[in-house]
Amino acid sequence: MDSYRPSSPFVTPIMLIIPEYATVKGVRRKAYPESGPVIWCSFKTYGGTERNKNDVYAIEDTAKVETYFRPDIKADCRIMLAESGAMYDIINEPENINMRNQYCAFKVRRVKGGV
């Protein structure tokens, strides 16, 4: 049986931002706290994709993250790079590699832009 090896060492610190849910006037709202646990990962970017839609110029940055498995990493969470403070949304359900609860991988996206 082949064992999975991460593509690079886990040297990038990121902060896992887990949303908190509250019901306000019968509507469930999601709020993100300012901080969360720091985890170490492999963070690889693929450059930005430029978009010009409805006269709004935007750049969509995507990246692949590999880290140790944590059951609290979910698709509704965000991550923040510890060094730059850049906030990314997790865009897919994190994959539990080989279902061994050892490593996980997921993709993230950050949209930024202006007029």
Domains of the chain: 12-114 (2.40.10.270)
Cα separation, 70 vs 55, whole angstroms:
40
Q: What is the mean pLDDT of the chain?
A: 89
Sign of CA dihedral 84, 87, 92, 93: positive
Asked if residues 13 and 35 have their Cβ atoms less than 8 Å apart, the reply is no
Asked if residues 58 and 73 have their Cβ atoms less than 8 Å apart, the reply is no
Contacts of 27 (CB under 8 A, 6+ apart): none
N-term to C-term CA, the chain = 52
**Chain segment 19-53, per-residue pLDDT in tens:** 999 998 999 999 999 989 999 999 999 877 787 87
Residue 90 has pLDDT above 90, yes or no: yes
At residue 56 the predicted structure's pLDDT band, cuts being 50, 70 and 90, is confident
pLDDT of the residue at 54:
79
